Chains A and B, each alone.
Chain A
């Protein structure tokens, strides 16, 4: 098991798998969110905020954000590896993307759990 896991993580398989798992999480969230929004139609602040006061919505939304950030990280890494030839510039852009994604993750936590129930 350890050997197969090591193989998984040293040959890009983990990225491949993570990209699919996060895609499925986001698909489920998107479909559920569309259904919930169409059924509840939160047209004012109270309704909109009421949705996000629910613990289950906070957790699901954070699972979505986490998946989104990991998915974006792998995607951006692939795109930069393919199109940016200069190693220094590529490293700098990857670092900038990583910092941006981490900050967005922290920010999303603040937004979601800054709402008092």
Chain B
């Protein structure tokens, strides 16, 4: 209960950066022009980090099953290879490879931010572009290797 109310308070604060405890009239605009608000690049990296993490979480059972199958017997190994080299599966794997690479590099970026590297806006934008492009380029390279 207490943790819930804490989260709620925190969320409200985030939407209201101007403190209203000093009783000044709130003359902030009431209608937000949603079209003029764009998602900043670091925010895109962040939301993709979450999405790719959830995707990787959901496919864990399938990946573990494939590992199990490949280690069971020579037949199982061949079967796992057949599954993984089916054309439509390759497409799915490419998606997973991108999710892994994006999550990996966005995570490394996160760790570097924790160490106070790249906190300036220009640097944050640059490393965001770096994460996005390196993971996409390596995904293309993986695609070439797959086909």
Query: A residues engaging B (CB < 8 A)?
Result: 20, 23-24, 27, 30, 44-45, 48-49, 52, 68, 72, 75-76, 79, 81, 87, 97, 100, 104, 107-108, 111, 115
Q: Is the interface of B mostly helix, strand, loop or mixed?
A: helix
* Known pairs A27-B108, A49-B71; A111 contacts B54 (CB<8 A): no
Once bound together, how far apart are the Cα atoms of A81 and B61, in whole Å?
A: 23
Partner of A111 from the list B50, B53, B68 (CB cut-off 8 Å) is B68
Instruction: Evaluate contact between B64 and A76: CB separation under 8 angstroms.
Output: no
Partner of A23 from the list B4, B56, B107 (CB cut-off 8 Å) is B107
Contacts of A107 in B (CB 8 A): 64, 68
Once bound together, how far apart are the Cα atoms of A30 and B67, in whole Å?
A: 16
Pick 24 A–B contacts, CB within 8 A, sort by A.
A20-B114, A23-B107, A23-B111, A27-B107, A27-B108, A45-B77, A48-B70, A48-B71, A49-B77, A72-B56, A72-B60, A75-B50, A75-B54, A76-B54, A76-B57, A79-B50, A81-B7, A97-B57, A100-B60, A100-B61, A107-B64, A108-B64, A111-B68, A115-B71
